[in-house]
């Protein structure tokens, strides 16, 4: 069984997918983290976000793996735990441009499908999980929230990092425009997906709504 959760930045889809995967006993496939890994590689290797050939080479060579550790899923890049590094502000600002390249997306989509093949149940989240990576998923959801709520959530995540709230809102809106307007695999509501606006829902309430929808749809 494959369940996909798509949605814009700050919508809470990562936390939702992570909790849903635990609830279902499924693999949590964080597709966005994989693009963040490529973006981190680009930063550390001095590869510019517009260098298609260089980025595709990095994507081809990157070893990306997900492992459980300390009660949560950790992201390993080239055998090193980079869970915290891929959430750095520099990666946040770069990942949209990096992920816009067709060669990079082809490599990551192939890897995402390969990872999913080895598991009976998968909860995949991202910006094209249900539209491109797993178009025939058993259940599809599009998780969203108002820009203000999403900015507030992202600000809480960045608390203590010295990032101003105004910058967070600007990043959210800029990311929305970049992800929705890109030519390759733009952010869209996947065909057949159930849309859930969780602006006024808690994480538990969002999970319950998804579980209800899954049961109702069979």
Note whether 108 and 59 are within 8 A (CB).
yes
In which band, very low, low, confident or very high, does the pLDDT at 166 lie, cut at 50, 70 and 90? low
What are the structural domains of the chain?
A: 1-26+121-218 (3.40.50.300), 31-119 (3.40.50.300)
- Please give the order of strands across the beta sheet that includes 194-197: 27-30, 122-126, 2-6, 139-144, 194-197
Note whether 31 and 134 are within 8 A (CB).
no
> What dihedral angle (degrees, nearest 10) is formed by the CA atoms of 129, 134, 136, 141?
-20
Task: Write down the pTM of the prediction.
Answer: 0.85
- Asked whether the predicted pLDDT for residue 163 surpasses 70, the reply is no
Extract the tokens encoding 135.
Answer: 């178009």
User: Which residues, including other chains, have CB under 8 Å from residue 173's CB and lie 6 or more apart?
Assistant: 147
- Asked whether the predicted pLDDT for residue 45 surpasses 70, the reply is yes
User: Which residues, including other chains, have CB under 8 Å from residue 154's CB and lie 6 or more apart?
Assistant: 9, 10, 168, 171, 172
Which runs of consecutive H residues, i.e. helices, occur in the chain? 13-24, 31-45, 52-61, 89-98, 102-117, 147-157, 165-181, 203-217
Which 8-state DSSP code applies to residue 11? S
Of 47-61, 93-107, 176-190, give the lowest mean pLDDT range.
176-190
Of 61-70, 176-185, 209-218, give the lowest mean pLDDT range.
176-185
* Phi, psi dihedrals of residue 36, rounded to the nearest 5°: -65, -35
DSSP 84-100: TGGGSHHHHHHHHHHTT
């Amino acid at each position: 069984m494959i369940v996909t959760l798509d949605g814009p930045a700050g919508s809470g889809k990562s936390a939702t997918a992570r909790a849903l995967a635990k609830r279902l006993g499924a693999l949590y496939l964080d597709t966005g983290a994989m693009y963040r890994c490529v973006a981190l590689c680009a930063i550390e290797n001095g590869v510019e976000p517009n260098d298609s050939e260089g980025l595709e080479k990095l994507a081809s060579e990157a070893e990306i793996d997900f492992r459980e550790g300390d009660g949560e899923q950790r992201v390993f890049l080239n055998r090193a735990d980079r869970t915290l590094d891929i959430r750095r502000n520099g990666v946040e600002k770069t990942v949209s441009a990096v992920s816009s390249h067709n060669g990079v997306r082809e490599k990551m989509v192939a890897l995402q499908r390969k990872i999913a093949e080895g598991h009976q149940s998968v909860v995949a989240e991202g910006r094209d999980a249900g539209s491109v990576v797993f178009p025939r998923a058993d259940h599809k959801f599009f998780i969203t929230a108002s820009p203000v709520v999403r900015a507030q959530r992202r600000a809480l995540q960045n608390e203590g990092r010295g990032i101003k709230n105004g910058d967070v809102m600007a990043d959210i809106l800029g990311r929305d425009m970049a992800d929705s307007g890109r030519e390759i695999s733009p952010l869209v509501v996947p065909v057949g997906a159930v849309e859930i606006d969780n602006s006024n829902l808690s994480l538990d309430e969002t999970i319950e709504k998804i579980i209800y929808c899954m049961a109702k749809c069979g």
